[in-house]
Structure 1
Amino acid sequence: MAAITSGYDRVKAVKEFDESKMGVKGLSDSGIKTIPQIFIHPQQTLSDIKSTSKQTTSIPLIDLSNVASPNHRPNIIKQIKEAAKTWGFFQIINHNVNVSSLDNTINAIESFHNQPHETKSKYYKRDEGRGVMYASNNDLYRTNAASWHDSLQAWMAPEAPKAEELPEICRKEMVEWDFHAAGVAEVVFELLSEGLGLERGKLKELSFCETRVIVGHCYPYCPQPDLTMGITPHTDPCAITLLLQNQVPGLQVKYEGEWVDVNPVQGGIIVNIGDFLQIISNGEYSSVQHRVLANSNKKSRISIVMFLNLSKWRGEGYHGPLPELLSPEKPPVYRDFTTQEFIENFYSKGIDAKSFVDKVKIQN
């Protein structure tokens, strides 16, 4: 563990890094051999950072090629339900999106991050809740230790950005991926809905496909990967997340108390359950901790995350477990909560695991 420098002023160091607009990619490209103090994590965070390359288990891989078949659909629903309940993560293949389209999206985001930081800096800002933003660590000012990644974020719906707001180098691909991902999400929400014993269109009807945010992460080479994280352990606050990744490893999921590597599958789309869906499913589905290790490869790890959440809250502006899932035998595990509570919980601190789930859990 590196020693803390005497007289170190973290607030000043964070501000200087942020105002440089270099991002960690700029630091990495500059050839630094030691990482700045603001990225060094406490020992308890780093105590179990290792790749479990000898693992024999991984997140479920689910083939959607026969999803429209009355003979095969029930089995696919069963697989999705089991994966969403036990792993909180699964990977889908044969999802009707061309592999070339996925690769083009990954390559375009990589091209954006590979530009000189002087070129990217015009997009660098901190305006998280809308529009288009490029920055390093969305929670940079809310966390005690920064992580080794940069992100390009674009809110695609309910209000789409103007074309010129998206960087030209990845504009076409981001718009196309938004279109394809919305279609994939609709199918996944149908299967998840049926897995809960609800009507096929129930989760879509609740508007869960209508708030969409694309975040293109870049995890560049880190000269001291044992001192920092790519992204710290967390759960996603949304309903579900769709994720594309290139062939550089690093993503891990917590399963039965162990960190499990999520190995890239060519043409696969990773789906993970968010806190919101855990709550409204009354705990039938589980959001699960995941993290990304700092990248020791010379090639950058690229991942493209789409967060999906509802756009229309109930008339009174609150949500909670779906009434259809409740009964005397299955009482609510969580209380109702408001839009404001949900948003404030996310923006009041660094990313974390299930803090909102814990906040609305009904204590017996």
Structure 2
Amino acid sequence: MATMATATSSYNRMKEVKEFDESKIGVKGLSDSGITSIPRFFIQPPETLYDLKSSSTLTNIPIIDLADVSSSALRPKIVEQVKDAARTWGFFQVINHGVPVSVLEETINAIKAFHDQPHEVKAKFYKREEGQGVMYASNNDLYRAKAAAWHDSLQAWMGVRKAKVEDIPEICRKEVVAWDKSATEVAETVMELLSEGLGLEAGKFKELTFSDQRAFVGHCYPYCPQPELTVGITPHSDPGVVTVLSQNHVPGLQVKHGEEWVDVKPVPGGLIVNVGDFLQIISNGEYQSVQHRVLANSCKEARISIVIFYNLNKWKGDGYYGPLPELLSPEKPAIYRNFTMQEFHDNFYSKAIDNKSLIQKLEIQN
């Protein structure tokens, strides 16, 4: 026991984290080096590891066909499907969304090509400047989390806070720009449907700048030699309005539905859409953001996902955000208080990614 206590007391976690970060090799570099055990600071606490298997008999999240979205006769049915999925699941897949499969595949391949480069090449982009420009790093919350997760990410801000195009790595530059355009068209179509589902005009969310500020992220989840000891990304809800995601065929994404974890099986050519905390608040709880996670990858092939997070740029001249006034009434009073963008940023950047912490802080206690 004394030996164990000495070993524990002599372990300097922050020193190891800093050395890993300053090496700029990422988890891809660790994986490629052929390690057979993961560094200690990647080992997740028991409460994260105890239920890593899917616990559900459900086979997938809802799948919604957008082929007839322009049909005045058939659109109401699609609105109902999107509304129901956003209320009960917070996650759904869309098919026949208009983005060619070739665009999805080219973007996935380009992000894979970026992460497959020698770490000396990628190291030029490695930095920790969240919220602006282009950043390649392992774990954006590396210094804030209890334990690191097994993924690397390339991030580029788009929209009104757009990074300089020439700052995006050349190996994936063209594809990132094309994906941003295509994904945003899908996001704006889905936001129209979500808006109509709340009884608002189709263009309301666009008017409120819900797609103007967005972040592109290309995740790589390389092979992990001890997937039972860590995760690809810890359980969390997304902080923004909506998220649009495409992924290769390597599994790992799971969604919390009730008390169960459901494996998300990608549909060929489909895109995954999920509700963020911001949308839950502005819809006054009508739509639900939900926990999701990515398991550590036990496949030799890397899991690649390309994501765009949509966040509003500006709203209401007084600088406050909160439930949309149009959705409130004496029968349906606000269940969340108004908040400032500073509160939003302070909440996100002061801690590890987590589940609905902003929503919990904003709930009005009756």
Residues 194, 200 of structure 1: 8 Å contact kept: yes
Partner residue of 2:17? Answer: 14
Partner residue of 2:333? Answer: 331
Residues 61, 91 of structure 1: 8 Å contact kept: yes
**Could you tell me how far 1:56 is from its partner in structure 2?**
3.4
Q: How does 1:213-232 map to 2 (within 5 A)?
A: 213-232=215-234
How many angstroms apart in 1 are the aligned matches of 2:305 and 2:28?
A: 14
Task: Please tell me the residue identity of whatever aligns with 2:19.
Answer: E
**Secondary structure in 2 matching 1:81:** helix
Pair 1:36-2:44 in alignment = no
Residues 135, 150 of structure 1: 8 Å contact kept: yes
How many angstroms apart in 1 are the aligned matches of 2:153 and 2:145?
A: 16
**Secondary structure in 2 matching 1:272:** strand
Residues 65, 94 of structure 1: 8 Å contact kept: yes
Q: How does 1:67-82 map to 2 (within 5 A)?
A: 67-82=69-84
How many angstroms apart in 2 are the aligned matches of 1:67 and 1:80?
A: 11
**Could you tell me how far 1:313 is from its partner in structure 2?**
2.9
Equivalent residue for 1:105, pick from 107, 118, 121: 107
**Could you tell me how far 1:163 is from its partner in structure 2?**
2.2
Q: How does 1:144-159 map to 2 (within 5 A)?
A: 144-159=146-161
Task: Please tell me the residue identity of whatever aligns with 1:166.
Answer: I
Superposition RMSD on alpha carbons, in Å? 1.1
TM-score by length of 1: 0.98
Residues 58, 262 of structure 2: 8 Å contact kept: no
After superposition, the C-alpha distances for 1:182-210 in whole angstroms (9 at most, x for unaligned) are: 11111011000000000111111000010
Q: How does 1:59-98 map to 2 (within 5 A)?
A: 59-98=61-100
Uncovered stretches (5+) of structure 2, i.e. residues with no partner: none
How many angstroms apart in 1 are the aligned matches of 2:341 and 2:119?
A: 36
Residues 218, 302 of structure 1: 8 Å contact kept: yes
Task: Please tell me the residue identity of whatever aligns with 2:58.
Answer: T
Partner residue of 1:205? Answer: 207
Partner residue of 1:345? Answer: 347
**Secondary structure in 1 matching 2:214:** strand
How many angstroms apart in 2 are the aligned matches of 1:297 and 1:57?
A: 21
Pair 1:48-2:51 in alignment = yes
How many angstroms apart in 2 are the aligned matches of 1:161 and 1:291?
A: 28
Task: Please tell me the residue identity of whatever aligns with 1:212.
Answer: R
156-165 or 263-272: which moved more? 156-165
Count of residues in correspondence between the two structures: 361
After superposition, the C-alpha distances for 1:325-356 in whole angstroms (9 at most, x for unaligned) are: 00010000100000100111000000000000
Pair 1:316-2:318 in alignment = yes
Partner residue of 1:195? Answer: 197
How many angstroms apart in 2 are the aligned matches of 1:55 and 1:112?
A: 37
Residues 65, 95 of structure 1: 8 Å contact kept: yes
**Secondary structure in 2 matching 1:100:** helix
Equivalent residue for 1:272, pick from 274, 287, 301: 274
**Secondary structure in 2 matching 1:308:** strand
How many angstroms apart in 2 are the aligned matches of 1:57 and 1:197?
A: 31
After superposition, the C-alpha distances for 1:258-288 in whole angstroms (9 at most, x for unaligned) are: 0000011110110000000000000000000
After superposition, the C-alpha distances for 1:218-259 in whole angstroms (9 at most, x for unaligned) are: 000000000001000000000000001100000000002100
TM-score by length of 2: 0.97
Residues 49, 293 of structure 1: 8 Å contact kept: yes
How many angstroms apart in 1 are the aligned matches of 2:41 and 2:72?
A: 54
Task: Please tell me the residue identity of whatever aligns with 1:43.
Answer: P
How many angstroms apart in 2 are the aligned matches of 1:283 and 1:163?
A: 37
Uncovered stretches (5+) of structure 1, i.e. residues with no partner: none
**Could you tell me how far 1:312 is from its partner in structure 2?**
1.1
Equivalent residue for 1:177, pick from 176, 179, 196: 179
Task: Please tell me the residue identity of whatever aligns with 1:35.
Answer: I
How many angstroms apart in 2 are the aligned matches of 1:157 and 1:163?
A: 12
How many angstroms apart in 1 are the aligned matches of 2:59 and 2:338?
A: 36
**Secondary structure in 2 matching 1:304:** strand
How many angstroms apart in 2 are the aligned matches of 1:163 and 1:112?
A: 16
**Could you tell me how far 1:161 is from its partner in structure 2?**
1.9
How many angstroms apart in 2 are the aligned matches of 1:11 and 1:158?
A: 36
How many angstroms apart in 2 are the aligned matches of 1:262 and 1:93?
A: 15
**Secondary structure in 2 matching 1:305:** strand
**Could you tell me how far 1:106 is from its partner in structure 2?**
0.6
Partner residue of 1:299? Answer: 301
Residues 248, 301 of structure 1: 8 Å contact kept: yes
